[in-house]
Amino acid sequence: MTSLLNFMERFRVTKLAVMATVVVSILSTTSLAQANGASSQMTTASAATDSATAGKAHDDSFVIGDDDVLAISVWKEPDVSRTIPVRSDGKISLPLAGEVQAAGLTPKQLESAIAAKLASFISQPDVTVIVSEIRSQKFNILGQVTRPGSYPLTNSMTVLDAIALAGGFRDFAKQKSIYVLRQNGSGGETRLPFDYKDVIKGRKTDENVKLQARDTIVVP
């Protein structure tokens, strides 16, 4: 009788051990699958980020200006690579390259200019320029608005957008007499009228112009 009880006890312990092994195996497999899934998602996100960065680095539509912050990378040259602002004279300073004119160039043009400067010291330098902070593109709004001042200019911003950003009008604003002062190529200014009341009624919509850098909106 004792032998039978001992056998049954050993059988029960063995069965429990087998079940525990199966559970551990299932949990391990699930964790591995989750880890592989997360790794795949991170890889995909990283690839998307790299692609977006590459597009921005070679953006031919953006012109670098004073105070913009540039992330400059030279392949396999960490001592030359760095993030620096464009000075008020429009230039940047880099090791080996020295003074380089940045304002007025696109990121791709600046890459070529830096590479040409480095060519005497580095064989076939591979340069990437990314505008990490846009500080040069601004507009001003003055007069009878809640928050007059200077604001960053974003893509496709119009006069209506600017008025909203400045908090709207004060009580005595002359909404039909607003105008935009825009610098022209000859060094002077062009005055563009903006009748707020007509524009919001769907009339004179052409006056709701897309803003340019250094435009000044005056709200009498």
> What's the pTM?
0.56
What is d(CA 25, CA 183) in angstroms, rounded to the nearest whole number?
72
Domain 69-133 has CATH 3.30.1950.10: yes
**What confidence tens digit (pLDDT) does each residue in 100-118 have?**
999 999 999 999 999 999 9
Report whether CATH 2.60.40.10 matches the domain 138-219: no
- Residue 90 one-letter amino acid: G
Q: What angle do CA 126, 127, 130 make, to 5 degrees?
A: 145
d(CA 40, CA 58): 27
Query: pLDDT digits over 65-88, tens only?
Result: 999 999 999 999 999 999 999 999
